[in-house]
Amino acid sequence: MDLGFLIGLEENISDFINQLEVKVNPGEVMVLYTDGIPEAVNEQQEMYGMERLCGVLQENRHESVDSICERVVKDVKQFIGTQKLLDDITLVVLKKNSIA
């Protein structure tokens, strides 16, 4: 199972990282998240999944970044119901303002 890159185990991580420049147009949204969101599990042992996450993001893309974050977290909590999160969740939403 590929668990990704563990932070803090290597002093020099330059061989493990890469840099990429991405152009973000006005109004576009960039979302960074940890696997705890799509892998959240409900009472029926179903995972939240990428499709559901993308749907919530798509539906709320015109909202503020704070509102987008709140709606994703609320939807994850609603989805898992009484289940406890088995992993941490981190969500960062970036949005480039439109040029007026």
| Contact (CB, 8 A) for 16 and 82 | no
pLDDT tens for each residue of 31-46: 999 999 999 999 999 9
Domain that holds residue 36: 29-95
CA distance 28 to 61: 8
Selected residue with higher pLDDT from 2 and 46: 46
pLDDT tens for each residue of 47-87: 999 999 999 999 999 999 999 999 999 999 999 999 888 88
CA distance 62 to 58: 9
Q: What is the pLDDT of residue 12?
A: 82
**In a domain? residue 78:** yes
**In a domain? residue 18:** no
**In a domain? residue 15:** no
Number of domains in the chain: 1
**In a domain? residue 85:** yes
**In a domain? residue 81:** yes
**In a domain? residue 6:** no
Q: What is the pLDDT of residue 72?
A: 97
**In a domain? residue 42:** yes
**In a domain? residue 61:** yes
Residue 20 has pLDDT above 60, yes or no: yes
